[in-house]
């Protein structure tokens, strides 16, 4: 009999969004005539822009001829894509090198897989509430997790306590689920803390394209010192509509080095390359070709048009919450709006009320941690018509 990884006994039976999908499927099976509006999982609804689509088609066509056919691709991703990413960073005032960019199929898998680089006895610090992948993947490995409270008092932007030590720190900004985004001064506090603790920051920047306050950093590498303590994870899922197409990239600076117990200096860039080349064979040429268009001027413009469309939904949701004097966070620099459940309700209870009474699906804050117990998350990713209808129905909850 194999000895199992019994750490799986310590994670919830199903992943948050699987649990929601099951509950919604059960409801729709029992109520096939009801029009359910989905504002739960952060999944985009607009089609991919024509610049990216043209390059996806070009990629498919390349496979049809022996002159242009592609087999296994370069280990870290095609140069044309990695150079496009480097240029995009440059336009945002941040210098990275192409061999620090690793193209992959998703920020979710990369933020989960990065745990391979760290020993089991590290102290992992995560904010609560937080994207459940960070907690679940470390729990699966049996690592000790310490939580740092994100709450209304600190605007869901907690800062480190210098008296508390951590080895691996997770930061997501703009934040999933709260929508809160760190400014440069706040991020500098985290970078200084990480350097003082010889810790590494796992920086999830998947929602950077949603930042509308131009003073906010889009990359942790805009902060001095971050190249020595941070890994950054980005994604085309929400930026370019690639949730189904799958493409992401992770930046591992070559300055990121730590000393092993035998005194050997270990480079996280070299370790990640070793890990990826062993366990991953890259993102398809077709997808990378399509993704490359998102970093051109014309492609980026199309991505921003879609993001601006979703921003209209943020306004529709915010106005409905304002009307009922419901306190909320996010929705300005992020596609997520995080609000207090009315009448102090528990969030799964509120989820069931929303589903059963008005057929609107959101995400219960409890799924992101104890500080989400009385909060609820809506996404701006549906269309205008459904978002308006959902918020009209929402208003009836108070009649």
Contact call for residue 49 and ligand MLT (CB under 6 A): no
> Angle 236-295-381 (CA atoms, 0-180°, nearest 5)?
35
Nearest position to ligand MLT, beta carbon = 42
User: Are β-strands 257-259 and 265-267 bridged in parallel, bridged antiparallel, or unpaired?
Assistant: antiparallel
- Tell me the backbone φ, ψ of residue 260, rounded to 5 degrees: -75, 170
Tokens for 153, please give them: 């008092």
Contact call for residue 108 and ligand MLT (CB under 6 A): yes
Residue with Cβ nearer ligand MLT (41 or 358):
41
Contact call for residue 380 and ligand MLT (CB under 6 A): no
Close Cβ partners of 71 (under 8 Å, ≥ 6 residues apart):
none
Minimum distance from residue 264 beta carbon to ligand MLT (Å): 35
Radius of gyration of the chain (CA): 21
Contact call for residue 234 and ligand MLT (CB under 6 A): no
Contact call for residue 82 and ligand MLT (CB under 6 A): no
Residue with Cβ nearer ligand MLT (111 or 269):
111
# of chain residues touching ligand MLT (CB under 6 A): 6
The shares of helix, strand and coil residues in the chain, as percent rounded to the nearest 5, are: 45, 15, 40
**CA distance linking residue 160 with residue 167, whole number of Å:** 12
Minimum distance from residue 131 beta carbon to ligand MLT (Å): 6
Minimum distance from residue 199 beta carbon to ligand MLT (Å): 25
Minimum distance from residue 237 beta carbon to ligand MLT (Å): 6
Contact call for residue 129 and ligand MLT (CB under 6 A): no
Minimum distance from residue 381 beta carbon to ligand MLT (Å): 9
User: CA dihedral in degrees (261, 265, 270, 271; nearest 10)?
Assistant: 10
Contact call for residue 41 and ligand MLT (CB under 6 A): yes
- Nearest Cα neighbor of 329 from 371, 298, 358, 301 is 371
Minimum distance from residue 217 beta carbon to ligand MLT (Å): 21
Contact call for residue 362 and ligand MLT (CB under 6 A): no
User: How many distinct helices (H) and strands (E) make up the chain?
Assistant: 11, 15
Q: Which residues bind ligand MLT (CB under 6 A)?
A: 41-43, 108, 131, 176
């Amino acid at each position: 009999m194999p000895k199992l990884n019994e750490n799986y006994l310590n994670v919830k039976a199903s992943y948050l969004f699987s649990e929601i999908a099951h509950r919604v499927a059960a409801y729709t099976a029992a109520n096939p005539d009801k029009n359910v509006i989905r504002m739960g999982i952060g999944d985009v609804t607009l089609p991919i822009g024509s610049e990216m689509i043209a390059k996806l088609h070009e990629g498919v066509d390349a496979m049809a001829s022996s002159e242009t056919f592609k087999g296994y691709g370069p280990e870290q991703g095609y140069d044309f894509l990695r150079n496009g990413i480097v240029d995009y960073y440059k336009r945002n005032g941040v210098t990275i090198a192409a061999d620090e960019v690793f193209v992959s199929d998703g920020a979710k898998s990369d933020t989960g897989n990065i745990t391979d680089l760290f020993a089991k006895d590290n102290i992992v610090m995560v904010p609560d509430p937080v994207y459940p992948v960070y907690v679940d993947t470390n729990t699966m490995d049996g690592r000790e997790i310490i939580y740092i409270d994100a709450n209304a008092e600190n605007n869901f932007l907690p800062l480190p306590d210098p008296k508390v030590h951590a080895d691996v720190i997770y930061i997501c900004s703009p934040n999933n689920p709260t929508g809160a985004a760190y400014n440069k001064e706040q991020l500098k506090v985290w970078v200084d803390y990480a350097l003082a603790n010889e810790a590494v920051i796992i920086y999830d920047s998947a929602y950077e394209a949603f930042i509308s306050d131009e003073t906010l950093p889009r990359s942790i590498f805009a902060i001095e010192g971050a190249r020595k303590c941070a890994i950054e994870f980005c994604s085309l899922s929400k930026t370019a509509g690639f949730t189904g197409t799958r493409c992401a990239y992770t930046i591992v600076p070559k300055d990121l080095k730590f000393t092993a117990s035998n005194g050997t200096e270990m480079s996280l860039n070299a370790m990640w390359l070793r890990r990826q080349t062993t366990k991953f064979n890259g993102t398809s040429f077709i997808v990378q070709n399509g993704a490359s268009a998102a970093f051109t001027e014309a492609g980026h413009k199309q991505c921003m048009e879609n993001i601006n469309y979703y921003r209209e939904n943020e306004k529709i949701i915010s106005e409905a919450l304002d009307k009922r004097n419901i306190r909320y966070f996010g929705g300005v620099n992020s596609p997520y709006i995080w609000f207090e459940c009315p009448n102090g309700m528990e969030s799964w209870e509120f989820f069931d009320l929303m589903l059963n009474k008005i057929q609107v699906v959101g995400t219960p804050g409890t799924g992101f941690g104890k500080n989400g117990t009385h909060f609820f998350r809506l996404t701006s990713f549906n269309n205008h018509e459904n978002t308006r209808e959902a918020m009209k129905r929402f208003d009836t909850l108070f009649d």
